[in-house]
Structures are given as C-alpha cells and as structure tokens.
Amino acid sequence: MDLRKYLQQIDDSGELRVIKAGVDTRLELAALCRREFNKDKGGNALLFETVIDSPFPVAANLFGSEQRVSRLLHSDSLLHFSAKLKKLLEQKAGTVKEKFHFTESNKGSFHIGTTQLQYIPDLKLTSLPAIQSWPAERGRYLNLAMALTQHPQNGLRNLGLYRAQIIDSDRLAVNFSPRSGAAEHLKIAGKANKPLPISLILGSDPALLWVAAAPLPPDCDEFIFSRSLFTPDIKLTAGLSQALEVPSDAEIVIEGQISPGDCVTEGPFGNHTGQYVSRVDCPVMQVTAIRHQPRPIYPTTVVGPPPSENIYLAKANEILLREMLKIEYPQICDLQMPLETIFHGVALLAVKPQTESDNKELLYSLWNKSPLSNSCLLVLLDEDIDLKSASKSWWRTVNCLKNQRIYQDNGRIAVDATGINPASLVVEDRQTSELIKRRRDEY
C-alpha cells in the first residue's frame, strides 16, 4: 500500500477532507492541522491542493486517530495489529535481538526494478512545501522524511524518522540523535574520512513511517521487518546519485551526503515538550539529486505540545515495547504509556509479585538495558490495577509512595508502588453485588 492507496482508502471511508483554497506553509497550514486534529476523534486527514510558493499538494493529519493509525498499520484495530506483531515474534525463538534478526538471506532478496521517480535537475529544496509550525521557528521543516543510511563496513541499512530543516536551496540540517543508527553510521564514515550517503524518503507505504520511528533493535533491517509484518511485495529501486536503494513507490526522494564535521546550528524548533529546542552540532546534508513521482503528494505532520497527531503513531510503539519487554522480562504483565507523556518514555508497568529488591533490580535493568533507558519516569504496579485507567494507576501510586521505594538516576525517577495485600483492598462484597443485580427490576 503506497501513500496514494492509503489516501484513497481513508477517502472512501469519509475520513479525508480536501482543501482547495491556497494556504501558506508558514504557520497557516500547521494552524489548520491543529484545529482539525482537535476535533472529535482526531478530525479528518487533510489534503491541501493549493500551496503557496510550491507546486506540490500536501497531505497532513494522516495518523490523527486510532482508526487511521490502525489502517496505516494494515490492521482493523490496534488490537488486531498487536495480534499480528505477536504472531510474527512467536515464529522465532530466543531473545529480542534474535527475534528481530531479519536478513535478506532468510527472507529472500528485494526485487530491484523500475520506478516512476523522475530526476528534476532544477528542483530546489526551497520549492518543497516544508512547513513552519510555530512563530519562533526560523526555518521550514520536513517533518515526515524517512532518513535512509547504510553502515559503511557491513552494509546494514537503517531507516529513521528525523526532522530536517531547510538551510538553503541544496542543504538540510538533519537532526538524528547521537544514539541513532544514522549517527553510528556517520561516526564510522568519519573515522574513514569519507562522506556518508543519505536519502530522505517522503511517501511510500505509510506503515514505513511507524517502522522508521519504532524502537527496533539496532541491527534490525527496517525494510525487511516491514516486509515481514506488512508488505511482502515491497520493491526497491536503485539510487541515482547515491548507492542507496529506496522504495520505488516513494513520492519524493532527496539524495545527498553528509561530510564528516559538517555541522550547523539547527532550530529553534517547537517540539513535543511544548518548548523550543535547538541543536548547535546538527549534521548537514548536501543534496546531490531530487526525484519525484509525476504530480507528487508531499506528506507532513505538525509537531508540538500534546495533543498532536503523532501521539497515536506512538501508541503503536507502546504495543511493540510491551511485546519486547515481555520477552526479556517475563515478570512484566502489561505496559501502558500515558499519551501526554509518551515521548518522554513515562511507563506504567504491571508486574507479577516479587520482592522489593527484585523490583529495584528490574527498574535499573530497564534503565540500563532496555528500550526504556531514556524514560524519565517508571512506575511499577500490581497486576490487579487496570493500567488503561491512568487515574486509578496514579491514585494507587500516590497511596503507595514510600521513600525507600523511590529511585533516582541521572534525572530519571522510578517508583515501586507494588505490594498491596488484596485482602486489604476496600471493595464491595460479592453477596451484596449479587443482591443488587437480582433486585434491579424492583428498584
């Protein structure tokens, strides 16, 4: 399923709103997206047909509801997606790393073929409908560009979702984190004093957006994982100016390279913390070619303080994390991450009964060895709590606060709120409940 088929599906279900009036990519388009998302059930996906100073239409609010995210994940619901993911992982034994070790040798090679991507020699970055979302931002951003890099030595691919700020007509500041796969590839290329090839992919199968943003193990090939879970017939095509194979159904592909030590100050950018952020050492991508489909559609998203549409995409991360943690830590029964704090890694975890020292060991292991290593707050709770009820979870946590069960490490906090004796809980007795049910008609 490519981006156009996805848009057609949500249009058929009445979830696409087409805006024909001309809109400005500086502030206006983002403001319209925020207002749409804040409607009941996340509003509709938006297709802006006329964008000022750009020839390309813009698709936005693509995953602003649980229903659209489920469709994006080739599923009927997030519950259905969870079952599909669990089934895939159950097909392989071993640790998380072993379960996510998908290679072309055991899944077959990708079909490398033709594409409708056209090379446009005179197209400049400044012609793309990249957006400015907030007033203090000093530039326009590509917020849904998937960055593809390759390990300079072993050839392993990495697909990540990072913001990219347009510097000028042929340069971008690509903000991948220091611990990302792309950063590792750049570091290795720098040691050899060679530039790192990179391609930014806009469009293609929308499921790739989640795969690129998901907390997959470092050596997991995102394309092969996506093919195993979503699209068996995914096709790649050769790069034009860089030796990187990209999805043949991508709407726009920006090829380039990052030279060692070439950095720039990026930002300010209004991110999910509700504050502007900047980076002084952001890698610079020098563009070498831009290709696009005939009449391409440019996808974007609006980042900012919650609620924003990307929190629903992150809910799929929660499902992945839950399955990964249950493999490595059998004592974990459930995981929930409150929407407003999901990008800070705040996690509520239901665990089986164990000693206080075992819980402490678990918390520090999660901080040191798991995808929750950057979580600013972890809370352990007993199995009887329904983690989907944030109010009950916080109520239980507050009532179980004990100084010796509060742990801090490098600005991170963890709380062990387990150990409640079920017999001490204030609950209605079964006989009274049955009496009320039996006499309901009398009342």
115-173 pLDDT per residue, tens: 999 999 999 999 999 999 999 999 999 999 999 999 999 999 999 999 999 999 999 99
pLDDT beneath 50, residues of the chain: 106-107
The pLDDT of residue 106? 46
The pLDDT of residue 108? 57
| Domains delineated in the chain | 78-299 (2.30.110.10), 329-424 (3.40.1670.10)
Q: Which residues pair with 46 in a beta bridge?
A: 17, 60
Return the closest-CA partner of residue 118 out of 32, 240, 23.
240
The pLDDT of residue 281? 96
- Report strand pairing: 111-112 vs 276-292: unpaired
Number of neighbours of residue 336 by Cβ within 10 angstroms: 23
CA distance 177 to 40: 34
The end-to-end CA distance of the chain, in Å, is 55
Give the burial class of 54: count Cβ atoms within 10 A of its Cβ; 0-12 exposed, 13-18 middle, 19 or more buried: middle
CA distance 312 to 73: 12
The pLDDT of residue 274? 86
The first and second tokens of residue 236, run together, are 């790649």
pTM of the model: 0.92
